[in-house]
Amino acid sequence: MFEVIFLGTSASAPSVHRGLSANVVLYREHRFLIDCGEGTQRQILQSGLGFKRLNKILLTHGHLDHILGLGGLASTFSRWEAVDNMEIYGGAATLERVRDLIFRVVLRGGDTPSFKVKFVPIKPGIIFEDDTFFIEAFPVTHRGPDCYGYLFQEKSRRPFLNDKAQALGVPIGPERRRLVNGHSVTLADGRVIAPDDVLGPAVEGSKLVFVGDAARTDNLLQYAQNADGLVIEATYIEADADMARRFGHLTAAGSARLAQEANVGQLYLTHLSRRYRDADVISEAQAIFPNAMVVRDFDKVTIVKKDK
């Protein structure tokens, strides 16, 4: 399962109650910061997360309300925090803007940071993977080039059947670990136990899809399909659909229709404009997709595999 902590949920400019775009996805020992708007480092501290191991940053695009906080974060890392490195993933145009922000503004082009900054240009496809999950970047249409969304997919696993293992006499310890990892083991009495003897059918892992700013949804359907959780913007409501199209954003209804068509489990709406009440946004979305909610700063949600 994945956990998402919403650090900033406002669109374009902060409000009294909402900071600019920033979110953290937690999975086992991994922590990913998605976007880093102005004021993000204070939100990180106020959330209780702290900076430890928060060194992988995924950027959806290069607009300032999604990246300006990286300047302050880099400054803090270089002076105060015991952070060895910072990995920043994004499209080429986005990374170029971030590189200017960090090295031509914050570090003034001459200072050498005390930590390593690694820029990781991405293309559509898998950008991070280990034995248990992967992250896939996919293209998103917004104003400007190199806009991306991120798909977090937990890999399928076969549950270990303790009752069967006990009946077969498999001792607790390294033998069971080898079986879980797909290797046969030989017991003390010479019997060979295969993984199929003690593992159940494969269980699908949870799926989280994260979209930043977007102008359309038809090209997102294949990525959002059957997601357990979809995080996406709802900058406008249908009454202002013309404005949404002009500025390359979605309405709450548009995001809800995507969730409905893609058969997602839960819809999380973020990137809200100060011009609307939360109630206006959520009522529009829930009229189409009942499992929709408007998230606020510091909300925490858990993404688990939805029932078939």
Mean pLDDT for 168-194 is 93
Q: Return d(Cα 146, Cα 100) in angstroms, integer.
A: 17
Q: Which position among 65, 146, 213, 297 bears the catalytic label?
A: 65
Domain boundaries, the chain: 2-157+202-303, 162-198
What percent of the chain has a predicted confidence (pLDDT) above 90? 82
How would residue 112 be classed by pLDDT, with cut points 50, 70 and 90? low
Average pLDDT over residues 266-275: 96
pLDDT surpassing 80 at residue 187: yes
Residue 286 predicted with pLDDT over 60: yes
DSSP E strands, the chain: 2-8, 22-27, 30-36, 56-58, 85-90, 116-121, 125-129, 133-139, 148-154, 185-186, 192-193, 207-210, 229-233, 266-270, 292-294, 300-303
User: Is 189 noted as a catalytic residue in this protein?
Assistant: no
Model pLDDT, residue 242? 96
Please give the pLDDT value at position 5.
Answer: 98
In this structure, what are the phi and psi dihedrals at residue 242, rounded to the nearest 5 degrees?
A: -65, -40
The fourth-level CATH superfamily of domain 2-157+202-303 is: Ribonuclease Z/Hydroxyacylglutathione hydrolase-like (3.60.15.10)
Q: How far apart are CA 227 and CA 145, in angstroms?
A: 26
pLDDT of residue 110: 60
Instruction: Inform me whether the pLDDT recorded for 116 exceeds 70.
Output: yes
| pLDDT bucket at 107, cuts 50 / 70 / 90 | confident
Look at the chain and count its residues: 308
**What is the rounded CA–CA span in Å between residue 49 and residue 67?**
19
Q: Are strands 192-193 and 185-186 parallel, antiparallel or unpaired?
A: antiparallel
Average pLDDT of every residue of the chain:
94
Mean per-residue pLDDT, 247-265: 98
- Rounded to two decimals, the pTM is 0.90
For the stretch 153-170, pLDDT in tens is 999 988 999 999 999 999
Residue 248 has pLDDT above 70, yes or no: yes
- Confidence bin at 308 (pLDDT 50/70/90): low
